Amino acid sequence: MKNLPLNLRDKIDALYISAYEALEKKDLNTAKEQAENAWELLPEPKFDWDVTLSFVSGICEMYKELGFYEKSHKIVDELLNSDHLDDYDDGPIFLKGAIYFEQGKLELAKEWFDKANTISKGRCFVSQPKKYKAFYSEY
């Protein structure tokens, strides 16, 4: 993986921060615009950078919060099919489960949470909202 130049990384980070601030203020159009601008700044091929996992999480989390589930799935699927993940990378798999959960597709959410849980030996739930672990434990 290549290292993204620090000045570009800082610029992208600032846009994501701005997007989340807009989301907190319920300014959904600005949040979407800022997140998409950040994603667009990441040079192609998007999955070749040292920051890919965090930036994929950033844009997909934003899309998930905004209810753009299919856009979020598309990016996660591209990453999962990119051959840039290691066997221990449970984050994108967990994210896929979280997207399905928010969509109300609980069977699929459980399936993806199972995969992430197996890879991480349960650690995938540690820094996530408690609702995902509660669902997983009860389902």
> Which tens digit of pLDDT belongs to each residue from 33-81?
999 999 999 999 999 999 988 899 889 989 998 999 999 999 999 999 9
Residues 115-123 have a mean pLDDT of 96
- In this prediction the pTM is 0.86
Among 36, 48, 44, which Cα is nearest to 12's?
36
Give the per-residue pLDDT at 14. 96
Torsion sign across C-alpha atoms 15, 6, 54, 3: positive
CB 117 within 8 A of CB 125: yes
Domain boundaries, the chain: 1-68, 86-139
